[in-house]
Amino acid sequence: MFWLQETTRTIVTTLESLVPGHSLHPWFLEIVEAGTGKTFTLEDNAIWPTATRPILEAFFHARYFLEMAVRYRDLEEPPQPLPSGYAALLTLYGLR
**pLDDT (average), residues 3-28:** 97
* pLDDT tens, position by position, 19-37: 999 999 999 999 999 999 9
The answer to whether the beta carbons of residues 18 and 73 sit under 8 Å apart is no
Say what the pLDDT of residue 1 is: 82
**Angle (nearest 5°) at CA 92 between 87 and 93:** 105
* pLDDT tens, position by position, 38-82: 999 999 999 999 999 999 999 999 999 999 999 999 999 889 999
